[in-house]
Structure 1
Amino acid sequence: MRATWLMGSVRWRITAAATLAVLIVLAVTGGALVAAQRSVLTDNVDEVLHRHSTAIIAALDAGTLPAVISGQGDDESFARVTDVAGREIAATARSLADARLAGSLDSGDGLQTIRSIPGPEFRVLSTTRSGLRVLVGTPLDDVQDSVDALLAGLFVAVPAASLLLAAVVWLLVGRVLRPVEAIRSRVAAMSGSTLDRRVPEPNTRDEIARLARTMNDMLERVETAGARQRRFVADASHELRTPLARIRAQLEVDRAHPEAADVAATQRSVLDEADTLQRLIDDLLLLARADSVREPRQDEPVDLDDVVMDEARRVRGTRPVSVDAGRVSGAQLRGDRDRLARVVRNLLDNAVQHGGPHIVISLREVDGQAELTVADDGAGIPADQHDRVFERFARVDESRTRDAGGSGLGLAIAREIVAAHGGSIVIDPLHRPGVRFVVTLPTGGKTPPPPVS
């Protein structure tokens, strides 16, 4: 099992590939070296034969060629001069080589290599001059011995060098991959309760260091998301438990004291709490869908000014506040009318709950964007809470009850809907007193600049 794992590892594959590549290169280089050495040594032999043949021809021309030609170099080297009929004019002392090669020579001029049986190969030069044929030859056993010695050395050196390289590559790759294994083992040991751990980061600037930093950034995001999810579940449980506890308490009181029970009042209270639960569950489902995937939305022309005016009239008719909508001008965009109305409604409800008695709404279209603002004259929101108020179940004052502070989902839902429409929602940091929410939505005209929060 371990052998199979090793053979499938990156370390093994890199080592095998590097060793195989070097082995092929060394084998090819060794073959080329052997061929080059054989060629050089054979050229040297040919040069000696040419000099010997030239000397014999010069002696023939001068008429000083003796009947017995002196040999050169190897004991088995030979020289012969014959006429057209094949009669010998002059020759070296009779040798075994001369006898073995006598019947193997070609009739043409030039160099040729002849294998003697038994014995080594011979290199023979044949030259015709003035009707006489001059043959000089020498054995190639020295050349073959030199080539064999080189081959023997290469047969030892090439495998040894390849094994040494394999060991070096194995160690180097293991050293390089050691941080990766440390990252893998650390991540493998993590669980949902140990997301605060981080993988070790090498003190380098290479790809592995960047991988470690990326892993740590991802773990930080996962830890943050997990913390938010746990907080979301806890807050949702609390928000759901509160109305259920009130319903249970009222029903238990009526059951314990039936003679004093006001059935009609209890029914109204239970229905109110049920409505509250229904709204809370709907909000939670909306946010859950926004977390999972981008749910398909309606894409139709929406007159945003009509939506704003409808919500303003709703607030005037149900709440004891004044709503100034005199700065609302025409703005049309494409989107989901019901969800855009939900954004305006949540912002107005937030202003009614936490602001003063006066609310100001404005709407205008600037550079391809619809800019909607909702301002109140209440106590405002501290600057360090401007981002936090858009989180789920967030309340500026944690001591507020649910009835006074709402569920804490309204602004989070507004942000999700605005983001789904390609817009942004922020708090104007310069508005005093109270708070002023600024919503920007693309209208499909001039390309808007990126939102800045």
Structure 2
Amino acid sequence: MAELPGVPRGAARRRAGIRMRITAAAASVVAVALLVGAVAFWLTLRTALYGELASSAEQDAAAFAEQVEQSGREALPDLDDDRFWQLIDRDSGSVIAASEAAEGVDALADREGGTQSLVVLEDGDPPFVTAAEREGGDVIVVAGRSTESADDTLATVGLLLAVAVPLIAAIVAGTTWLAVGRALAPVERMRREVEAVTSTDLHRRVEDPGTSDELGRLARTMNGMLARLEDAQAAQRRFISDASHELRSPLATLRQYAEVAHAHPDRIGAVELSEVVLDEGARLERLVQGMLVLTRADEGALALTAADVDLDDLLFAEARRLRELGGVEVEVSAVVPVRVRGDAGLLRQVVRNLADNAARHARGKVAFASWQDAASAFFALDDDGAGIAPQSRDRVFERFVRLDEARTRDAGGSGLGLAIVREILRGHGGVVRVVESPLGGARFEARLPL
């Protein structure tokens, strides 16, 4: 099908607005209900009017039969066009007398007194409601009443209903349109306010009506969303700034050594230059790897290869590595066998980051421990360093955070290790926290589900 000029693709399939849909639904429901009610009322009224005419015809037939029996057929009255009577011979079944309206009409009842409920005496005239009475001696008396007045009443009522139903439906539609428009006006205002928010002014908020209804909850939800976006943007900018600063430091070191070696080959030898390149390259690799892990965690794409992992083996391996590096005393007497289900490589990185952090801040001793209960596995690393103040124990897991800014970057690390620990454990359904260590320093305690 060819597209209309100036009409965007898919515009024909676009759904009508909420206001239009609610108005159409309300008007349709009311119109259908009114139509059903109007038809039911008209049919009920017709049944009542025709039933009243039938009762009147039965009364007329009984009265006429009594008059014939007492005074003869000459006592029957002359009737106008809205009523009639007819006398039928019981034996022959022929008409022996009739009022003016029924003259020349065949017998309207059989010999048993059976007659039709509605009869038409002349073409084009309204029908009559009839009744027969056999208790009239040797004749059957048939009486009838015209439905003309009842039909006129029904026509008038039908006309009024035909006008009232669309009129009431239109009034309901107009009222619904106005009411829904007023109800949705705050929503449209919020939409315009949110639409005007850009990445440079996420501090803006929509107007909160201060109510507890749907509009108030929607406004508070939108403001909460904007606050989270603002926090996420600030965190992203801070992360980019810190990452750029961290990456610039090893690059500057490499450039500095390269420039000195190029300008003064006698001052820096090949061995010293290669050591610097290897050290700073490894540092760059750790930074990039850490940022990739955190990025995947933020995106929910941290892939876990589940397998049975012996935490005690990971702890013993890291303790052995620290002993080989020297500088601190390593205690593993509190390590007991504990097995969990998780990614061995990522959990090894968690233990290594915590071990490096403990060795970096310890004065002379690092202790490893592990245990479990009915639902969880635990491991902890203690150091005898200066410890962490209670108000800073949550901040240490933020990215690029160093509580001691005076510490050199080589000694203080990149500031990503503990953030990586938290994200990896979170991906495993676990948590990590910092408490005071029995050795006097900090105790990093991790919990994983069994």
Cα distance change, pair 358–22 in 1 and its aligned pair in 2 (3 A) = same
Instruction: Give the counterpart letter for 2:67 in structure 1.
Output: A
Q: Determine if contact 1:69/1:91 at 8 Å carries over to the other structure.
A: no
* Residue of structure 1 in register with 2:67 after alignment: 59
Instruction: Give the counterpart letter for 1:114 in structure 2.
Output: V
Q: Which moved more, 1:425-434 or 1:148-157?
A: 425-434
Find the partner of 2:34 among 19, 22, 26: 26
For residue 50 of structure 2, give the secondary structure of its aligned residue in structure 1.
helix
* Residue of structure 1 in register with 2:306 after alignment: 299
1:239-277, Cα deviation, whole Å (9 max, x unpaired): 111110111122223333445443432232222211211
* Residue 109, structure 1, aligned to residue 117, structure 2: no
Distance 1:236 1:439 in 2: 27
1:109-155, Cα deviation, whole Å (9 max, x unpaired): 24521233232222222333433121212221110111111111112
Distance 2:18 2:69 in 1: 76
Find the partner of 1:8 among 10, 16, 22: 16
* Residue of structure 2 in register with 1:196 after alignment: 203
Q: Which moved more, 1:140-149 or 1:118-127?
A: 118-127
Number of aligned residue pairs? 437
Distance 1:82 1:303 in 2: 114
1:337-371, Cα deviation, whole Å (9 max, x unpaired): 33222222211211222232222222223334332
Show structure 2 runs of 5+ residues with no match.
1-6
Find the partner of 1:98 among 82, 93, 102: 102
Distance 2:353 2:242 in 1: 19
* Residue of structure 2 in register with 1:356 after alignment: 363
* Residue of structure 2 in register with 1:381 after alignment: 388
* Residue of structure 1 in register with 2:245 after alignment: 238
Distance 1:140 1:245 in 2: 110
Cα distance change, pair 365–139 in 1 and its aligned pair in 2 (3 A) = closer
Instruction: Give the counterpart letter for 1:275 in structure 2.
Output: A
- For normalisation by structure 1, the TM-score amounts to 0.88
Find the partner of 2:85 among 79, 89, 95: 79
Matches within 5 A, 1:318-397: 318-397=325-404
Find the partner of 1:226 among 229, 233, 238: 233
Find the partner of 1:153 among 160, 171, 190: 160
- Deviation (angstroms), 1:6: 9.7
Cα distance change, pair 336–79 in 1 and its aligned pair in 2 (3 A) = closer
Cα distance change, pair 278–13 in 1 and its aligned pair in 2 (3 A) = same
Matches within 5 A, 1:312-323: 312-323=319-330
- Deviation (angstroms), 1:88: 5.6
Cα distance change, pair 104–4 in 1 and its aligned pair in 2 (3 A) = farther
Q: Which moved more, 1:206-215 or 1:126-135?
A: 206-215
Distance 1:185 1:418 in 2: 41
Q: Which moved more, 1:416-425 or 1:191-200?
A: 191-200
* Residue 136, structure 1, aligned to residue 143, structure 2: yes
For residue 74 of structure 2, give the secondary structure of its aligned residue in structure 1.
coil
Cα distance change, pair 292–103 in 1 and its aligned pair in 2 (3 A) = same
* Residue of structure 2 in register with 1:421 after alignment: 428
Q: Determine if contact 2:87/2:98 at 8 Å carries over to the other structure.
A: yes
Cα distance change, pair 69–7 in 1 and its aligned pair in 2 (3 A) = farther
Q: Which moved more, 1:8-17 or 1:168-177?
A: 168-177
For residue 428 of structure 1, give the secondary structure of its aligned residue in structure 2.
strand
Distance 1:144 1:45 in 2: 12
- Deviation (angstroms), 1:399: 4.2
What's the Cα RMSD here? 2.6
Instruction: Give the counterpart letter for 2:189 in structure 1.
Output: A
Distance 2:297 2:82 in 1: 98
1:214-242, Cα deviation, whole Å (9 max, x unpaired): 33333332322222222111111111111
* Residue of structure 2 in register with 1:448 after alignment: none
Matches within 5 A, 1:198-213: 198-213=205-220
- For normalisation by structure 2, the TM-score amounts to 0.88
Distance 1:345 1:183 in 2: 50
1:315-336, Cα deviation, whole Å (9 max, x unpaired): 1221311122222222222333
For residue 373 of structure 1, give the secondary structure of its aligned residue in structure 2.
strand
